[in-house]
């Protein structure tokens, strides 16, 4: 029972820190935000912050990583499958994660968040795809195909999120899922 209370408290603390951070993001550049600013807004002491994160960069990494995994979990309802619908949902989750952190509202965050968000999103996609392709590929084949599929999914969603395409996100998801499934089916034929 004590660990459950501790987990609830930890979750509440992290949510408070994240909410305080997002409020600060709308007011000032990341470089000017201090840990003291974040903890003051969250109504927690600095020691509590440092019990969870090594610095504000680690904290930002957590926010971005959590955003990607939460979006995937929400869109896939926790089901790990490799089919057209699941891939559609992965694309839509990536679209969601590019809009979730909402820290691109200030131009100074674009260069800071973009590469970090991409890395975290692709890593979360790789985890999901590795699990979903567990029985379809050997470890060697997974090591080859999973990063390719993850990057295709990411890039398709990124094209939509950055406004580079004029079709809606559902159409992007459909096109990307067909592309990934086509690659998967081709890989299975070449292995036979």
Residue with tokens 């800071």: 112
| Whether the Cβ atoms of residue 122 and residue 150 lie closer than 8 Å to each other | yes
For all residues of the chain together, what is the average pLDDT?
86
| Whether the Cβ atoms of residue 125 and residue 153 lie closer than 8 Å to each other | yes
pLDDT tens track for 112-137 = 667 778 888 999 999 999 999 999 99
In this prediction, residues 8-35 reach a mean pLDDT of: 84
pLDDT tens track for 152-170 = 999 999 999 888 889 999 9
Q: What is the DSSP string of 28-53?
A: S-GGG--HHHHHHHHT--HHHHHHH-
Q: How far apart are CA 1 and CA 110, in angstroms?
A: 42
What is the percentage of the chain residues whose pLDDT exceeds 90? 56
pLDDT at 2: 46
Q: Mind listing the domains of the chain with CATH numbers?
A: 1-52 (1.10.10.60), 55-191 (1.10.357)
pLDDT tens track for 28-54 = 888 899 999 999 999 999 999 999 999
Other beta carbons less than 10 A from residue 132's beta carbon: 20
């Amino acid at each position: 029972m004590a660990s459950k209370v501790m987990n609830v408290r930890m979750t509440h603390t992290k949510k408070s820190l994240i909410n305080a951070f997002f409020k600060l993001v709308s007011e000032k550049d990341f470089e000017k935000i201090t840990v003291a600013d974040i903890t003051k807004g969250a109504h927690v002491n600095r020691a509590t912050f440092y019990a969870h994160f090594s610095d504000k960069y680690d904290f930002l990494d957590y926010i971005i990583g959590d955003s990607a995994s939460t979006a995937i979990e929400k869109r896939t309802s926790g089901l790990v499958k490799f089919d057209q619908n699941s891939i559609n949902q992965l694309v839509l989750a990536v679209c969601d994660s590019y809009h979730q952190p909402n820290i691109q509202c200030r131009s100074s965050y674009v260069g800071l968040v973009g590469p970090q968000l991409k890395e975290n999103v692709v890593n979360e996609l790789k985890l999901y795809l590795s699990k979903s392709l567990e029985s379809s590929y050997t470890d060697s084949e997974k090591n080859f195909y999973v990063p390719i599929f993850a990057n295709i999914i990411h890039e398709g969603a990124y094209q939509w999120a950055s406004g580079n395409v004029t079709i809606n996100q559902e159409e992007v998801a459909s096109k990307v899922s067909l592309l990934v499934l086509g690659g998967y089916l081709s890989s299975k034929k070449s292995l036979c």
